[in-house]
Amino acid sequence: MISDVSGEFIKKLMPELEGLHFEIQELKGGITNQLYRVRCSDGRDYVFRIYGERTELFINRNVEAENLSRLEPLGVTPRLVKFLPDQGVTIVEFITGFPLKNDDFLKKDLWERILYPIRRIHRSGIQLPGVFNPMAEVKRLYDILEGMSAQYPEFEMQETIRRLEKINDLAGIAPSEYVSCHNDLLADNFILTDRGGAKESVCLIDWEYAGMAPIHYDLADMFQEILVPRQVEQELLSIYWQGQDIDHHEYMTDLFKPFPDIYWFLWSLIQQNISAIEYDYYLYGRVKFENAQKNINHIKDDYALKI
């Protein structure tokens, strides 16, 4: 990782800033990359994303840059400014506003605005270059972790993957049904802005994991991040699906809930072994694993499914 993010470093990456006064501010909270905001005296405002160590295990940076380019016309993403993979940096515009917190998803007056960018992307018809098959991605991360010879006998990984395979068969979503998805819809990635109309006032940032995926996976990932009461989930689903076939969509979303938690569980244990960022990845992963088990049991018991 880069330790010296100085003015000279910034100007080396963006020579066009030579002669301008600018301020560099580290953005806290990133657990994959180093993030720096660069505010220029002429009003330009950027985020420099410096790739974390060995993040190529999870993220195809070429695909990430192409995602941003293809989605930019929708007006709900940051603009890609520079893609510098050889330097391990991507530069995007800084979206002025406030990142949401989990409690914000309990505010009814925000529900339409929160769902607008998700629905717009899902229904855009835009083909993203990458494919995010939840079952395949879980197996891929499991293989990476196995290859590190890291031992975590306290987690029943093989049995969990076996149960996920059964759930995946029940869901039965073919890749031909996939749509463009964000796949990392935690609250911090929703930015409440003052641009556009009321509906268009929420932008989505951090498109590293985006790709063609099942709609219900994207929604399940959001629910597993924001952890709102089930009644709120139902109301959000009703708004998203405009009151149509809600029982079916609730069932499908429930089927996909264990997948993001197991994905991020495996991701966290891999990070535990490779990341230089100070963060308790083990605890983060353990919570994700436990949440996945609760949802697997919910699917088995409430829907009387043999998994």
Model confidence at 169, pLDDT cuts 50, 70, 90, reads very high
Residues 124-162 pLDDT 10s = 999 999 999 999 999 999 999 999 988 899 999 999 999
pLDDT at 4: 63
Q: Which of 3-7, 228-232, 263-267, 297-301 has the lowest mean pLDDT?
A: 3-7
| 79/65 Cα distance (integer angstroms) | 10
| 294/307 Cα distance (integer angstroms) | 13
Q: What percent of the chain has pLDDT over 70?
A: 96
* Cα torsion 74, 75, 81, 82: sign: negative
β-sheet bridge partners, residue 23 = 39
- The mean per-residue pLDDT over the stretch 81-109 comes to 95
- The residue with greater pLDDT, 268 or 56, is 268
Residues 26-43 pLDDT 10s = 988 677 788 999 999 999
Is residue 297 pLDDT above 80, yes or no?
yes
Is residue 196 pLDDT above 80, yes or no?
no
| 167/159 Cα distance (integer angstroms) | 13
Is residue 236 pLDDT above 90, yes or no?
yes
Domains along the chain? 7-93 (3.30.200.20), 98-302 (3.90.1200.10)
Per the prediction, the chain carries an average pLDDT of: 93
Is residue 44 pLDDT above 70, yes or no?
yes
pLDDT at 278: 85
Residues 208-226 pLDDT 10s = 999 999 999 999 999 999 9
